[in-house]
Amino acid sequence: MRRRRILVVVALSCTAVLIGGAAAAWWVVNRRTPDVHRGDALPFTLTKDPTDSTGSSSSGPKPTKWGPAWRVYGRTMTRVRDASDLVDVRPPYQTAWIRRTGFLEYPPSYQRGRLFLYSNDGRLTAYAVDTGKVLWRHYTGPTDGTGLGEPAVDKGRVYVGSQRNTVYSFDAETGHVIWRKNVGAAMESSPAFDSHDLFIGDLDGNVRAMDLGSGRILWQFHAAGAVKHGPAVANGRVYFGDYAGVMYCLRAADGHVIWHTSTHGLSSGFRSGAFYSTPAVAYGRVYVGNTDYKIYSFVAATGQIAWTYTMPWWAYGSPAVSDGRVFATSADGTFVALNARSGGLLWKHKLPFHSLASPVVVGPYVYVADRGPSGGAKGHVYAFNPGNGHRVWTFHDGKYSSVIAAHGMLIVAGFGHLYALRPKL
């Protein structure tokens, strides 16, 4: 009897040890890591975007009556999503035109009176910005899900990468295919470019530089995970993150690695999140969101982490950077403005519904979208005062996409419609 009691006590003790060990292991793996706060001590220069307002020093003839271009996702190659200079684009608005589209996750690009929209069903469509008339259309694939990303527009050409492994160059006037290149992997990346190269990532973890004129691959770099977003290009460098939670800086000329920084363990325990967010480069920093719930600020020159800010859920959208502020979203609908130097919270607002959208500053306001109450709902676009976070305007469509500005109008990519909204006089 005594022997049995001893065995029971031993068994209970072992069970308690195992439970305690499991609890300790769970705590180590899932504990929240404190945020990094080194922003005030590391390099920071409060200057304007180093690229011009059209997104490239190779912009060609300057538009006149058609207004500034919006060449790439994020407006400029630095992807800062800042059009605060377009002060006349502001609510209240009236609808200029509406066009039915395929399912949209990204907004159009714009140049010299033409909008270029790449819908998820693989349709690249050119619209006249003043009337909404379809000028040309090209299918890059016959099934749903073949088109993701905002086109890049440069010198009369339009560039997209498809989920059917092919990068295309189109004539912006006619829609004629100038070249196509099968790179062997699907793409969700919105391309970027400099004066002669196109930069694009793929789901196999490759980032390539391709000749703008011919599509010839100039160099290729293989990352530790899938590269799902568009790279940022600034000062001869290419910045991007991967799905393994590593941030990279490459030399644009040859793909040489200048630095790479892993975020492994900075979320909680031994885990790392994934970078889906497109980075924004400003003030000598790189700002980007991660599915580990954190917004990161890296020193652009060295890759050192200046600060992190923890959101309630995935920081899936791409941040906007304007006037010393970083605007970012969390998948639960939390929308924040942070101090670009220190990462300190300036204000916070909870959207009515979840959000995967990326903020963008147009004129005096910052715009962001939510997904609505269900998967089939249209969602909403909101405008906020960037200084105090007060909501000033609501539009009842939006879902995943950001807005852009074109020809003095706000262009909204909704759930399945494209809207041109003209400011009321």
Model confidence pLDDT, tens digit, residues 242-291 = 999 999 999 999 999 999 999 987 765 556 789 999 999 999 999 999 99
Q: Buried b vs exposed e over 273-305: b needs ≥16 C-beta within 10 Å? A: bbbbbbbbbbbbbbbbbbbbbbbbbbbbbebeb
Residue 332 lies in a domain: yes
Instruction: Note the pLDDT of residue 238.
Output: 98
Residue 134 lies in a domain: yes
pLDDT tens by residue, 194-247? 999 999 999 999 999 999 999 999 999 999 999 999 999 999 999 999 999 999
Q: How confident is the model at residue 58 (pLDDT cuts 50, 70, 90)?
A: very low
Lowest mean pLDDT among 9-13, 50-54, 69-73, 149-153: 50-54
Stated pTM of the model:
0.90
> Quick one: how far is CA 168 from the chain centroid?
21
Question: What is the Cα Rg of the chain in Å?
Answer: 23
Residue 90 lies in a domain: yes
Task: Give the N- to C-terminal CA distance of the chain in Å, as an integer.
Answer: 94
Residue 341 lies in a domain: yes
Instruction: Note the pLDDT of residue 3.
Output: 57
Residue 393 lies in a domain: yes
Which secondary structure element, helix H or strand E, spans residue 4, and what is its range?
Answer: helix 2-30
Instruction: Note the pLDDT of residue 102.
Output: 87
Instruction: Note the pLDDT of residue 10.
Output: 47
**Greater pLDDT, 20 or 131:** 131
- Look at residue 62 and tell me whether its pLDDT is greater than 50: yes
Q: How confident is the model at residue 360 (pLDDT cuts 50, 70, 90)?
A: very high
Instruction: Note the pLDDT of residue 393.
Output: 98
- Look at residue 175 and tell me whether its pLDDT is greater than 60: yes
Residue 275 lies in a domain: yes
DSSP helix, strand, coil percent of the chain (3-state; round to 5): 10, 40, 50
- Look at residue 315 and tell me whether its pLDDT is greater than 60: yes
CB atoms within 10 A of CB 24: 10
Residue 86 lies in a domain: yes
Pairing of the two strands 360-362 and 82-83: parallel
Q: Which domain holds residue 218?
A: 55-423
Q: Distance of CA 262 to CAs 75, 248, 304, 412, Å? A: 28, 9, 10, 36
**E strand residue ranges, 242-371:** 246-251, 257-262, 280-282, 285-289, 294-299, 305-310, 320-322, 325-329, 334-339, 345-350, 360-362, 365-370
Residue 305 lies in a domain: yes
pLDDT tens by residue, 325-335? 999 999 999 99
Name the average pLDDT for the chain.
89
What CATH number corresponds to the domain at position 339? Answer: 2.130.10.10
Q: How many domains does the chain have?
A: 1
